[in-house]
A and B are shown apart, each in its own frame.
Chain A
Amino acid sequence: MSRTTDPVALNDWYVVTAIREIPPGGAEETRLLGQSIRILRDEDGAFQVETLPAPGERLRTQEKYGFLWVTFGTPARKIVDIPEFAEGGRRLFYRGRIGVDTSGQRVIENFIDLSHFSFVHTGTLGGYGNAEVPRYSVDFREDGAELWATECRFFQPKASAVASGAKEVLYNYRVPAPFIAILYKDSQVREGKQDAIGLFLQPLEETRCTVHSFALVYDDTNTDTHVLHFYHQIFAQDRGVLIHQIPKRLPIMPRREIPTQSDAMSIAYRRWLDRQGLDFGIDRSAG
């Protein structure tokens, strides 16, 4: 397919690689919103991104949070502000690229869902005996630009790589852009502090995406590799479910839903996407 004409999708910032993935002097081809692009890095480490076939259009780029961001258009807002990157104390993990054969919205919707924990992450983030999702709150912040779920609580056998036992864990979810989601959950080792885990989705096509992600966590015990394997286990469990979800584009018409209370965040995400007028990766048919 060719580049989308959806103005909402075009006028936003997207991560296309972690900076450390491409060494100085390196180059890589990838896709974004149905368009082939080439990422070039010169010997001094500076990036340049252009559309293919060459000679193509040169795209605006920014480096932030260890990732390279690009846009095709003129975004009305800046790249999301994540203050936790500037705070001390947490360890930063770059978790690698994961490809998923579905829309980016499906991945975000799964990430902000509590009810799958017990059945997809059995033994770590949930268990068969504690599947109930207690009531939580959904609200909009920044004049409706951000979607939040707060006061989420869930009983988790092993909430993180450093967790030593089962306990109820408090979560907040933040969706500051259609293809970005961040969760904040109680640290298992620092009272009153939160770990932050975020996904930056690169929508390659409407039904294919690459997940770039980070974790900022309090953990003084585990090796980097141990923590990474914990996250990869969790993510691969999600991926096994995501690649089977039909339709791959996210259906957002209310007639296609039979939600329960625990789906409040997912339903809010769908209505919020609809209000923004986003088309890329969205299924607006009535079913």
Chain B
Amino acid sequence: MIALYDYILSAECYAVRLFLGMIGQPFTLKRVDVHPGRENREPPFLAINPTGEIPVLEDGDFRLADQGAILAYLARKYDASGAWYPQDAESAGRIAYWLGFASGPLAALRRLRERDLFAIPGHDAGLQATAETALRLLEDSLAAIEIAGGRWLAGDGPTIADAAVFPAVALCTEAGFSFEPMPATWRWAERFKRLPGFSVMPGILPVLLVTEAGGVQA
């Protein structure tokens, strides 16, 4: 059974929970008291991941940290269709680029959100500038993809690139950003939310559909 070291409010943990749901793979949670307990900075957890970061995935005896690495592993091992992680040179290259983007510049956005969320005092202008640049780059890329007739970051269909970038971006309003100057990003996020197996986390609203009976379902 797959187990995930998890914190409910972590955008990176959400990326893994979300993807496991989308490929229909069952898993269990090992909940970590990140806030307020800082359990991930204590020796028992540091023995599991020396960087103190979550998520960490366990699949039998195999253990892996880093959301991008975990998504790549899960897609190769459990997505029989291969659609989430296509291996042609161009797709693989683009996916590697966006996984790097998600763990690099987008980390600034996640850190800004965590500062706001956990009421950490002060303002970090460097993080703010990095996050703004990252969101502008994403918006320009998605606009160019749309103009060329595409819908997803790295291929004809959704890939682990979309799954890695979506969480932090969908939560950007929690870091004080607005979707207003990012229409292509908004449309891409809404497309992603309509994929089969999609699940929410706190801060992300489901797409509500009116049923034939007149009720509402998520």
Partner-B contacts on A (CB < 8 A): 18, 21, 28-31, 94-99, 101, 122, 128-129, 210-211, 223-226, 228-229, 232-237, 239-240, 243-244
Contact = CB atoms under 8 A, between A and B. Distances in A.
Contacts of A129: 215
Contacts, number: 77
A225 B119 contact: no
Interface stretch (B28-36, B89-97, B124-132, B147-155): B28-36
B28 to A, nearest CB: 12
User: How many B residues are at the interface, by size bracket?
Assistant: 20 to 34
A224 B33 contact: yes
Interface in B7-63: 7-9, 31-33, 35-37, 39
Nearest to A226: B31
B70 to A, nearest CB: 20
A210 B120 CA distance: 10
B33 A228 contact: yes
Interface of B: 7-9, 31-33, 35-37, 39, 115-121, 173-174, 176, 201-206, 215-218
Given A236-B9, A237-B203, A243-B173, A225 B32 contact: yes
Contact of A28 (B39, B118, B121, B176): B121
A205 B36 CA distance: 23
Q: Which of B116, B202, B204, B217 has the most CB of A within 10 A?
A: B202
Contacts of A226: 31
B203 A101 contact: no
A240 B174 contact: yes
Contacts of B37: 224-225, 228
Contacts of B173: 240, 243-244
A233 B13 CA distance: 13
